Amino acid sequence: MAREKPKPTPGSRSKSGVKAKGAKELAHALLYLGPSLILFLIFVFYPMVKTVYLSFYLTNPSGDPVVWKGVQAYLSLLGSGAFRNSVLVSFLFVLYTVPGTILASLLLAVLANVKLRGIGVYRTLYSLTIGVSVASAATIWMLLFSPADSGMLNYWLHLVGLPKIGWLVTTRSALPSLALMTVWMGVGFNFIVLMGGLQSLPEEIFESARIDGAGRWKQFRHITVPLLSPTLFFLLVVDTIAAFQSFGQFNILTLGGPDHSTNVIVYSIYREAFFNSRFGPASAQAVVLFVIILVLTLVQFGVVERKVHYQ
Amino acid sequence: MKKRQTLKILSVLLVLGLLLVTGCGTGTTKSGQTAGGPITVTFWHSMGGVPAKTLTSLIDKFNATHKDIQVKLVYQGSYDDAFNKLKASPDQGPDLFQVYDIGTRYMIDAGLATPMQNFIDQSKFDLSQFEPHVLHYYQVGGKLYSMPFNTSVPVLYYNKTMFKAAGLDPNKPPLTFAEVEKDAKALTATSGGKKVYGFSQAIYGWFFEQYLARDGALYVNNGNGRDKAATESLVNSPAGVQILTWWKKMIDDGVATNLGRQTSATQAAFGAQQIAMTIDSCGILPNLTTAAAGKFQIGIAPLPRGNDATDSGPIIGGGSLWILKNKPKAEQEAAWKVVQWLTQPAQMAAWTVGTGYLPINKAAVNEQTYKDFLAKYPSYQVALDQLHNTPENRVTEGGRIGVFTSARATVENAIEQVVLNKATPQAALDAAAKKITSAIQEYNQTMGIK
């Protein structure tokens, strides 16, 4: 199929004129982008390149590359049961936290999206955890999770006559316990975003749905969720990346244990680099994590985004 | 013309941005001594809570009595955090640096410090008053690279009141693994729907190292890495297996409970009388005594030994003070003055009283403050006796490797595997030894150690 070239409309500039304009626009764009580009170059792109570079070496404890190893770090990652475990644990952690956080926040946001006196108090309460840093949250939950009788959660279980739980001490319960704490922490941010999304939905649609006899569930299922889908999609992407990159709670509460049951990739990288001083293998893990998150985000945009309803 | 102007602005902005960013890094390299004024000594430490308060009050006293030297105390988080910070950028380091026991080898190999021995020789500083067992831990070839400071030994804490209630003699604490097990059985009981366990100890690699030494076994080869650089881990020796077998059996029998890695959890459980015996550093006696006040009496015993163990003793733990070598001579000399002052009897006594760390200057025990402390906590003497009763040899001097942090974590994981029924003691320790050995060899390779 031969396509006809669009004819230049009369009065349009000459080719060289267009080029000059393009260069000028580029210069302008660079001018405005400059400061952030410099910061990105120094704090993101340079470390990224350096990470890839280091992953081909064995370093001394100060991080200077000493022995060229080629792709050996990657090969040993592939064969390493410990790394496969870290990947699995990371995915499980995402699975435990992301849907839970979004669902819990959605429920709270729908509940809080009514016009009542004093509803602001609830809205503030539900969004409070956004102001809590990971470090303080982890310290609070350390007291809650304490396996001793003085641990709050176990004390409450005892009060209602349930047996004690090992929380962070057994391999089976450690990751779910951390997920519980992470969901609690993530609800604040998710709630605020969803609340904003809900508030921007046009009231008329709900009104006409009510006139047509749609109940609360039908309204929620067929109007709220589709209209809110851009917000939900945004949270899905952001929460997934955040879950993959979680670090503080692991560092403070479990140190990756017991028996590596909470040794997510990020924590494993940290441990390998800053405790074992093996910057080469740690960099290789970082590169793999980057690829995993990249692929996953692309998949999310390719598959899930089709279901998103943009107004 | 306009285009060129835009480019000019652009390039100026680029340069400014660069300056701004790189500017963040400089400025802190030099400690900014003011001419003619007192010399500032920056002192990085990792003491939190009560020890931090004690250290601050000591340094305040130093600053008040020394017009020519002013010490700036900087808390750098945990030992690991501080150590990693220095590893990452040695040039941004302090004058005086508190490093944990197991960082000694790396500090020497990396050549970051001026050996303390240089200062000691030059001012003919008298070391004869120092506890020999503590000196031996830090000495390399008879040379001291750092000054021992906060020092502790592990001990067995037991609840005397519960001993009495269980029909045991509160003045006869268990001394061997078998006795611990027997007493733990007698102390385990269920009352009011709550189970009381006879024993519990945190999953802490330091305890394993201490038990190993107590049982006369080396941690690494080549004389614990002291005759020459270690090349192989020995944690999977029969002594190591025996420790974990004993540890696991008590948990399986339900006379001990696993409270995870945090020593704070076992301390809380001991204070709440949920467990009757525990292992911990002698340094926490004041804390435990506060927790027990009005509820029960605390007893202290030496670290239990394996059943057929020969006469040996635990190593030590804690930290020492290092003077970094890339600082001006005057600052290093000033830091040395601070070190000398801190280790004097009066200061050491105040340090022990305020923290529970051992008085490593023998003359400190003659200070009135220490005598008052001992009158209040008479059982503290057990810890000091244990230090004195330990024979000096390669085992009790402790292992010296550059990758101790990761080795300790590897052992902790092995303990978890055993306690949580994922592996037998032998299998877990074999795997751990293999991992530690390969870490040691990689370290030796990258540091150019033959």
Q: What is the ipTM of this complex?
A: 0.77
Residues B196 and B288 in one domain: yes
Contact between A27 and B88 using a beta-carbon 8 Å cutoff: no
Residues B258 and B128 in one domain: no
Number of structural domains (chain A) is 1
Q: What is the pLDDT of residues B149-198, one digit of tens each?
A: 999 999 999 999 999 999 999 999 999 999 999 999 999 998 777 789 99
How many CB pairs lie under 8 A apart between chains A and B?
A: 119
CATH of the domain at A111: 1.10.3720.10
Contact between A258 and B87 using a beta-carbon 8 Å cutoff: no
Contact between A258 and B17 using a beta-carbon 8 Å cutoff: no
Strands (E), B102-238: 113-114, 139-140, 143-144, 147-152, 154-159, 189-191, 194-200
Within-domain flag for B353 = yes
Residues 332-351 of chain B whose Cβ lies under 8 A from any Cβ of chain A: none
Does B84 reach chain A within 8 Å, measured CB to CB? yes
A159 contacts A103 by C-beta, under 8 angstroms: no
Is the pLDDT at B295 greater than 60? The verdict is: yes
Q: Which residues of B touch A63 (CB under 8 A)?
A: 87-88
**Nearest CA to CA, how far is B177 from chain A (Å)?**
24
CA angle centred on B87, ends B83 and B91, rounded to 5°: 115
Does B409 reach chain A within 8 Å, measured CB to CB? yes
Distance CA B441, CA B450 (A): 10
**Nearest CA to CA, how far is A259 from chain B (Å)?**
5
Contact between B260 and A147 using a beta-carbon 8 Å cutoff: yes
Is the pLDDT at A4 greater than 70? The verdict is: no
Residues 183-222 of chain B whose Cβ lies under 8 A from any Cβ of chain A: 193-194, 203
Q: What is the pLDDT of residues A191-206, one digit of tens each?
A: 999 999 999 998 888 8
Q: Which residues of B touch A276 (CB under 8 A)?
A: 403, 405-406, 439
Distance CA B148, CA B343 (A): 9
Is the pLDDT at B24 greater than 70? The verdict is: no
Question: What is the Cβ-side half-sphere exposure of residue A153, based on CA atoms within 13 angstroms?
Answer: 16
**Nearest CA to CA, how far is B310 from chain A (Å)?**
32
Within-domain flag for A163 = yes
Contact between B7 and A168 using a beta-carbon 8 Å cutoff: no
Q: What's the confidence (pLDDT) of residue B195? A: 86
Contact between A39 and B17 using a beta-carbon 8 Å cutoff: yes
Domain around B340: 39-152+316-389
Contact between B422 and A259 using a beta-carbon 8 Å cutoff: yes
Q: What's the confidence (pLDDT) of residue B14? A: 52
Within-domain flag for A256 = yes
Is the pLDDT at A238 greater than 80? The verdict is: yes
Distance CA B250, CA B29 (A): 53
Residues B298 and B434 in one domain: yes
Q: What's the confidence (pLDDT) of residue A22? A: 84
B166 contacts B187 by C-beta, under 8 angstroms: yes
Number of structural domains (chain B) is 2
CA angle centred on B299, ends A158 and B309, rounded to 5°: 105
Residues B254 and B322 in one domain: no
Within-domain flag for A8 = no
Distance CA B82, CA A19 (A): 55
**Nearest CA to CA, how far is B268 from chain A (Å)?**
7
Within-domain flag for A103 = yes
Contact between A31 and B442 using a beta-carbon 8 Å cutoff: no
Within-domain flag for B24 = no
CATH of the domain at B301: 3.40.190.10
Q: What is the pLDDT of residues B298-326, one digit of tens each?
A: 999 999 998 776 678 899 999 999 999 99
B339 contacts B116 by C-beta, under 8 angstroms: yes
**Nearest CA to CA, how far is B369 from chain A (Å)?**
34
Residues B287 and B353 in one domain: no
Residues B64 and B130 in one domain: yes
Q: Which residues of A touch B100 (CB under 8 A)?
A: none
Contact between A66 and B446 using a beta-carbon 8 Å cutoff: yes
Within-domain flag for A282 = no
Is the pLDDT at A2 greater than 50? The verdict is: no
Domain around A154: 94-266
